[in-house]
Amino acid sequence: MRSFVKKWLGGTELKAAPVRPSIPAGQRLFCIGDIHGRLDLLQELHRKVEDDARDYDGHKTLVYLGDYIDRGEHSKEVIDLLLASPLAGFKTVFLMGNHEQTLLDFLLHPRDVASWLTYGGRATLQSYGVAVFREFVSGDIDVLRDEFEAKLPQSHLEFYRSCEMTYVVGAYCFVHAGIRPGIALGEQRDQDLLWIRGDFIDSGVIHEHIVVHGHSITPEVEWLPNRIGIDTGAFQSGVLTCLVLEREEQRLLQTGCL
């Protein structure tokens, strides 16, 4: 079992014994962090996952933590790859990220979320063949939305709509951003599951499960008793991370690493 260190921002200490990390026997779970349009890194990491699981006879699950799109240049191609189910023999779980939710919001009320174009949406639209000029006025937003809807494959729209908010197995809960401390998992608000940062990241509260999440970028994986953060900023760092869980074992696969 991995040894954890009590190290909390602001000196916050744990108030309960940590949840014992484990998943049921006969399973190996792979969890991939925020991809953000980096098709090249996803392909590399898929090869590592496939190699790791090649001789494993148990049940194999592949969980994606959301934020498949935006920032990187190949958002459409990432979704094409995921829809093609490139890894045979795996159960796949696709979680919703805040960037996917914002894409859906853009289709419904584009002017309310026009800021999406400034934090990654421009790259996504361009990957779908929608030309986005550097300068645009409010009236252009509706035009961009209509062109995007026309060029967005129905299978992609259904993919975005079908993403789940949480996934639980054994001692672990998988979610894009995190959870609101002190609130039962079934009572969490989608807004928090997709967007929360400080109130979750800085908390020393022991949750019902160990929360595996992305969303908040760190240069290295954050191993803490109540959470494991695996967003290593792939779109700019070149490091896309996969957490591998089997019984009580925890280890990593990463791009750019032997």
What DSSP line would sit under 81-149, residue for residue?
HHHT--STTEEEEEB--HHHHHHHHHHH-GGGGGGGGGTTHHHHHHHTT----SS--HHHHHHHHHHHH
Domain ranges (residues) in the chain: 9-254
Instruction: For residue range 186-242, list pLDDT tens digits in order.
Output: 999 999 999 999 999 999 999 999 999 999 999 999 999 999 999 999 999 999 999
Check residue 140 and give its pLDDT: 86
Sign of the CA dihedral with 203 first, then 207, 212, and 213 last: negative
Check residue 7 and give its pLDDT: 39
Sign of the CA dihedral with 119 first, then 241, 152, and 130 last: positive
Cα-only R_g, the chain: 19
Instruction: For residue range 149-180, list pLDDT tens digits in order.
Output: 999 999 999 999 999 999 999 999 999 999 99
Residues 27-42, mean pLDDT to the nearest whole number:
98
Matching CATH number, 9-254, of 3.90.1150.10, 3.60.21.10, 3.40.1440.10, 3.30.9.30: 3.60.21.10
Check residue 10 and give its pLDDT: 36
- How would residue 85 be classed by pLDDT, with cut points 50, 70 and 90? confident
- How would residue 11 be classed by pLDDT, with cut points 50, 70 and 90? very low
